Every structure is written in structure tokens, then in C-alpha cells.
Amino acid sequence: MGTMTDHRPAEPMNWELYMPGISIDCVIFGYHNKELKILILEYKKSGIFALPGGFLRKDEELKDAAKRVLFERTGLRDIYLNQFHTFGSLKRGDIGPMHTVLRKNNMPFDNRHFLLQRFISVSYYALVDFKQVDPVADILSDSCQWYDSHHLPPLMLDHHEIFEKALEHLRNNIDRSVVGLNLLDDTFTMRELQNLYETILGEKLNRTGFHRKMMLSGQLKRLGKKKTGKAHRSPFVYKFTEEKK
């Protein structure tokens, strides 16, 4: 769509309401066509790509801020959000890119502008339903869209490092979380679930072993058969016993 909805800030931000020097960045994972997708936004007219991020309000819990940022960028609420690291590299203090953004947008600023300071980034990752996301650009960015994780545009500052660390955490925690819950349809075949796991982990898994492990985990409930129209036995479809978050 691209239309501005009322919950998303259309007015210039009042920087006084925000904690200086602290940003929140989100690595938002989606899944489509056996590809792991990441949500990336592009700043207006500048050709600068970045993870969707935001800032911490002075009266706001850190976790709430992450949820709000995610909501403002994707319209999604109550998503599984995981804080995984805080980045504080001095390279983050490179004001070049943001300088460009402000200049290209004819926004007045001096060197003490809120956006031109050093930030440390408290970073979260989220798994969201690819199909339910309506990426909408905000006042500073003119595009917000999914990129295949293998073909990301060059990202500003250390955002690529942030993405890599998020992926590392996602891979390490894949067994402890119900990964498919937000990344697949309500019902899915075992092969579809396995494809998702293989995409995230970046490696092939044993088919029968995967099948057995998933069934023994108790996370799955088997429903009826699915007609594929293909020349082979029709697979069962499954759903997660846990409710969608």
C-alpha cells in the first residue's frame, strides 16, 4: 500500500522526548519461497540502506520501545521479539550517512542535531509473518521492503554486523523456540517446515530424522491429508499446538 496510517508518526519528531545516544535496531526475519528475508529501509533520496530502527522514549520501557519501533515500521503487534546484543562501536558515530539524509531532505540541522551524535544500538530480532507485513516507509525513509538475506544492499554503519549476529542467535536458538510459528502458514507440511529450518540454518537436514524429532517434540499436531496434485503420496498437514503470538 504505502499509505500513511494514523498510528505512524507523520510529524517531525520531537527529539526532546527521546533518550540521546541510544537507538534500537530490529532485524526482522520473514520467510518466503525458501528464502530468508530481512526488512530493510532506504532513506529518502540518499541511497542509504539501514535496518529499521528507532529511539527510546524517556518514559518508555526498552522492550516496549522495541515493540513500538516494530509496529511503526511494519504495523505488526505483539511479535516474538528477542534482545540479542548491544552494539557500541565507535564507527557508529560516523555521522556521514545521517548527514546526507538530512541534507538531501532539506532538513535544517546543526552539528548538535539529535541524529548526528554517537549512538549505541540495543538490537532485537523478530520473526514475522511475511504475508501479513505491510512495509510502509516513514518520514525519513522512502522505501521499506524485504530483501533476500543473501542479497542485502550495502547497509550503513555496522548494520550488516548486526544482521549477522542476529542470524547467529536465530540459528543457535532454533531448537529452543517454535521457529515456524510466525514464519509459516497456519497449516503446513513436514517438508515445508523442513525447508524453513534448512533455509535458516543454511544446511541440509536429514529428512526422516527431522520428521521424527518434530513429532517427538510435541509442538505439532497432525491434521488431515493435503492434496498436492502431484504424482506421489499426499502429505499430512500439521499445525503448531502453541497459539500464534
Partner DNA sequence: CCAAAAGTGTTTTGGGTACACCCATGA
Partner DNA sequence: TCATGGGTGTACCCAAAACACTTTTGG
Which listed option, DNA, a copy of itself, none, makes contact with residue 190 (CB within 5 to 8 Å by class)?
Answer: DNA
Cell numbers representing residue 242 in the block = 502453541
Taking residue 208's Cβ as centre, other Cβ atoms within 10 Å add up to 7
Number of residues that bind a copy of itself (CB under 8 A): 22
221 binds DNA (CB under 7 A): no
Cell numbers representing residue 179 in the block = 521457529
Q: Report helix angle 190-201 to 159-172, nearest 10.
A: 130
Q: Which residues contact 123 (CB under 8 A, 6 or more apart)?
A: 24, 25, 26, 27, 83, 84, 85, 86, 87, 162, 165, 166
Which listed option, DNA, a copy of itself, none, makes contact with residue 207 (CB within 5 to 8 Å by class)?
Answer: DNA
Give 41 or 122: the residue with its C-beta nearer to a copy of itself: 122
Alpha-carbon distance of 234 to 179, in angstroms, equals 24
Binding mask 191-210 for DNA (x = CB under 7 A): x-------------xxxxx-
Q: Which of 36, 39, 48, 65 binds a copy of itself (CB under 8 A)?
A: 65
201 binds a copy of itself (CB under 8 A): no
Q: Which of 214, 204, 209 is nearest to 236 (CA)?
A: 214
Q: Which of 91, 1, 115, 102 is nearest to 48 (CA)?
A: 102
Enumerate the β-bridge partners of residue 178.
none
Alpha-carbon distance of 23 to 239, in angstroms, equals 37
For the bound state, the minimum distance from the C-beta of residue 188 to DNA, rounded and expressed in Å, comes to 10
Residues 11 to 50 in contact with a copy of itself, rule: CB under 8 A: 19-22
Which listed option, DNA, a copy of itself, none, makes contact with residue 21 (CB within 5 to 8 Å by class)?
Answer: a copy of itself
Give 62 or 107: the residue with its C-beta nearer to a copy of itself: 62
Main-chain dihedrals φ then ψ at residue 108, nearest 5 degrees = -70, 140
Give 61 or 164: the residue with its C-beta nearer to a copy of itself: 61
Residues 111 to 170 in contact with DNA, rule: CB under 7 A: none
Give 46 or 199: the residue with its C-beta nearer to DNA: 199
122 binds a copy of itself (CB under 8 A): yes
Strands (E), 117-235: 120-127, 141-148, 220-225
Q: Which of 234, 241, 244, 245 binds DNA (CB under 7 A)?
A: 234
CA distances (Å), origin 52, targets 2, 141, 194: 16, 10, 29
| Residue ranges that bind DNA, judged by CB under 7 A | 189-191, 205-209, 211-213, 215-216, 225, 227, 229-236
| Residue ranges that bind a copy of itself, judged by CB under 8 A | 19-22, 56, 58-63, 65, 83, 85-90, 118, 120, 122
